[in-house]
Amino acid sequence: VFDELDEIAKLEDPRSRGKALTGNLAGVWRYRVGDYRILCDINDGRLVILVVDVAHRREVYKRR
């Protein structure tokens, strides 16, 4: 998971590897790492990727 976060942080456009979520998670981007999901809020104005949650795919969306 940490290696994937490092790779995402190096990308010119971090959205190119993620998927935009909808519904109550609108504005959050999802990255798949095996059976785990990284949920991020990307702020272009400040070059910030805020990790919202990291959990098994079975659990990560239930918390929202």
pLDDT tens for the chain, 64 residues: list them.
889 888 888 888 889 999 999 998 898 899 999 988 888 888 877 757 778 888 888 888 776 5
Give all domains of the chain, ordered by start, each with its CATH number. 2-56 (3.30.2310.20)
Distance (Å, whole) CA 10 – CA 26: 24
For every residue of 4-38, DSSP letters joined together read: HHHHHHH-SSGGGGSEE--GGGTT-EEEEETTEEE
Phi, psi dihedrals of residue 37, rounded to the nearest 5°? -125, 140
Instruction: Locate 39 and state its tokens.
Output: 């949920």
**How much is the pTM?**
0.74
Instruction: Locate 2 and state its tokens.
Output: 């940490």
Q: What is the pLDDT of residue 64?
A: 58
Q: Are 23 and 35 in contact (CB under 8 A)?
A: no
